[in-house]
A and B are shown apart, each in its own frame.
Chain A
Amino acid sequence: GENVEQHPSTLSVQEGDSAVIKCTYSDSASNYFPWYKQELGKGPQLIIDIRSNVGEKKDQRIAVTLNKTAKHFSLHITETQPEDSAVYFCAAVEGSGGYQKVTFGTGTKLQVIP
């Protein structure tokens, strides 16, 4: 089955700096890669996603890159703000139209220091 590794497990940055979180996956059948932000006491919230036919996607201060050959993908947050502090999860999804199996990474706790 799919295995998703996520690094680092914790990350502290100064407000205004950039943060980068990296994930690797093992199954080449995975073709969709969402990223979730989870705040304390809440469920994961989708922040950005990328499909396997795209190498990069950007949404304001958030960008995601995908390297299918190397089987890794990364989340980049620029100009970090205190409200970006949360746990971030990457995920790899495999499925051709029916059930879509989602495998999550172990999470990165991001702390943005004002």
Chain B
Amino acid sequence: GQNIDQPTEMTATEGAIVQINCTYQTSGFNGLFWYQQHAGEAPTFLSYNVLDGLEEKGRFSSFLSRSKGYSYLLLKELQMKDSASYLCAVKDSNYQLIWGAGTKLIIKP
């Protein structure tokens, strides 16, 4: 079966750096997405990786290793507004998004 694994919850301190990991086993691979979802709100797109390596976008970076079935989202200079759930999703061979259950990130002052 297809599976996306990510930690259920993480805690970090304001101003610090946090890395959220995602491992996947899917039927085919057509890209990996990261989304942010604040409580009670819609998920919003953060990043897309289809080739190995690091994609940087401001304070957020996303890394992909296709051979290892592994990705991470790196958040720098954490702010209180970064408290949210972070969802990892992989587009499989049928171009369907397979979703992880999300990582709830708690930022403490």
Q: Do A and B come from one complex?
A: no
* Chain A residues close to B by CB (< 8 Å): none
